[in-house]
Chains A and B, each alone.
Chain A
Amino acid sequence: MIPSTRTIEVNRDVQAERKQAAAEARNAFTRNGTLVINLVSSPGAGKTSLLEATAKYWKGRWRMAVLVGDIATERDADRLAPFTPVRQLTTGGACHLELELVQRGLAQLPSDDYEFLFIENIGNLVCPASHDLAEHLRVVLLSTTEGDDKPGKYPKMFRTSHAMMITKTDLLPYVPFSSEAAIEDALRIQGNLHVLHSCAIRNEGIEDWCLWLEHRRENLLKSKEVCL
């Protein structure tokens, strides 16, 4: 018998199951009243400093926890441990976090009863853009030392983000960074982006950041009531 070829039509998103799993996990967080924030940026943009300042601001007010992703070491977890429950997720080489690793880290946190859960992603503006970690909010940090032309260079990250925080604003007098140019560039890609500014080491912009998150969590709780 002469072999013949057969074409099997599939037309399927390769990540469909992962996206479904992330959506289900996100719904579970919503039912639990936990707002999940995925912090993304290039290395050194200030994610850990922001989380340290956030934990200090909210001390005694809201319960937060952090899952920190890095390729190696537990330096960031060690740095945050005095201020907030934290677990280090070490990928051993992978350039991004995936949902399975986040869920393993969640299981190691002392409780599941947090109003705010932060995922500090691997420092990388490319690969994390393609991986849903069940977050409600994806916040991209852009530091003043990186250049105001970066949003257009990383369109997927900015397109999939809900907010952009310009960090290290204390350095603005010393670097050729235009906040207006960076914001205009980012809004071309994602017109709904909420823009924030901060200098974590001076505790500037932290109140606005925390109030914005509290407001977003209130909206989440209202949406939960609508769905019940």
Chain B
Amino acid sequence: MHEYSLVRRLISHVLEAIESSPPCNVQEVVVSAGPLSGVEPLLVVQAFDQLKSDAGLRVCRLLIEATDLMADCESCRCSFAVQDFVFRCATCNSSSITVTAGDEFRLLRVKVLE
């Protein structure tokens, strides 16, 4: 499943972020995922638990913050939450919208013990 591919990238980013700290001191990794991120949180946690030891992150836990699917309307400039995957402006019904959140799998922060 493709969560394994993404989690390998995630772990790579975590190791980059903690270059000055040993991997075994990483306590927590916090990520965000939204409805269009293309990941299933349960599968992400499973993949992380299976892959973390090889990277020296044995005691690290993964927390996933859910993000709403948000968009900006290019016609009336309002920001709105996309409901039921209907990508039309909630105010003016325009389809000229840009998704601003909820479509990425992001590494937010890493907590280390020093």
* Interface of A toward B, CB cutoff 8 Å: 3-15, 17-18, 94-96, 98, 126-127, 129-131, 152, 155-156, 159, 187-192
The one of B10, B37, B38, B109 that contacts A127, using a Cβ cutoff of 8 Å? B38
Contact B88 A10 (CB under 8 A): no
Interface string of B14-32 (1 = CB under 8 A from A): 0001100100000100010
B95 interface hit (Cβ, 8 Å): yes
Interface string of B74-114 (1 = CB under 8 A from A): 00000000000111100000011001000111111111111
Residue from B85, B109, B111 with most neighbouring chain A CB atoms (10 Å):
B85
Contact A6 B112 (CB under 8 A): yes
Contact B106 A152 (CB under 8 A): no
Contact B110 A8 (CB under 8 A): yes
Contact A14 B38 (CB under 8 A): no
Contact B86 A5 (CB under 8 A): no
Bound form: Cα–Cα A11–B17 in Å: 11
Bound form: Cα–Cα A6–B88 in Å: 42
Smallest Cβ-Cβ distance to A11: which chain B residue: B108
The one of A5, A11, A95, A155 that contacts B2, using a Cβ cutoff of 8 Å? A95
- Chain B residues, Cβ within 8 Å of A14: 6, 9-10, 13, 31, 104-107
Bound form: Cα–Cα A37–B21 in Å: 44
B51 interface hit (Cβ, 8 Å): no
Contact A9 B109 (CB under 8 A): yes
The interface on chain B, measured as residues whose beta carbon lies within 8 A of the other chain's beta carbons, has a size of 36
Contact A13 B114 (CB under 8 A): no
Bound form: Cα–Cα A127–B17 in Å: 27
Contact A6-B114, Cβ < 8 Å, known A15-B6, A15-B9, A188-B86: yes
Contact B114 A5 (CB under 8 A): yes
- Chain B residues, Cβ within 8 Å of A5: 27, 111-114
Contact B6 A156 (CB under 8 A): no
Contact B36 A12 (CB under 8 A): no
The one of A9, A17, A130, A188 that contacts B87, using a Cβ cutoff of 8 Å? A188
Contact A96-B110, Cβ < 8 Å, known A10-B17, A191-B87, A191-B88: no
Bound form: Cα–Cα A15–B104 in Å: 8
6 closest A-B pairs by beta carbon, nearest first, are A191-B95, A130-B38, A155-B85, A127-B2, A8-B110, A14-B105
Smallest Cβ-Cβ distance to B84: which chain A residue: A152
Contact A18 B9 (CB under 8 A): yes
Smallest Cβ-Cβ distance to A17: which chain B residue: B9
Contact A10-B109, Cβ < 8 Å, known A159-B36, A188-B86: yes
Residue from A4, A156, A190, A192 with most neighbouring chain B CB atoms (10 Å):
A156
Contact A8-B112, Cβ < 8 Å, known A14-B105, A15-B105: yes
Chain A proximity of B65: nearest CB distance (Å): 12
Bound form: Cα–Cα A127–B39 in Å: 9
The one of A95, A126, A152 that contacts B85, using a Cβ cutoff of 8 Å? A152
The one of B35, B86, B110, B113 that contacts A3, using a Cβ cutoff of 8 Å? B113
- Chain A residues, Cβ within 8 Å of B36: 155-156, 159
Chain B proximity of A9: nearest CB distance (Å): 5
- Chain A residues, Cβ within 8 Å of B105: 13-15
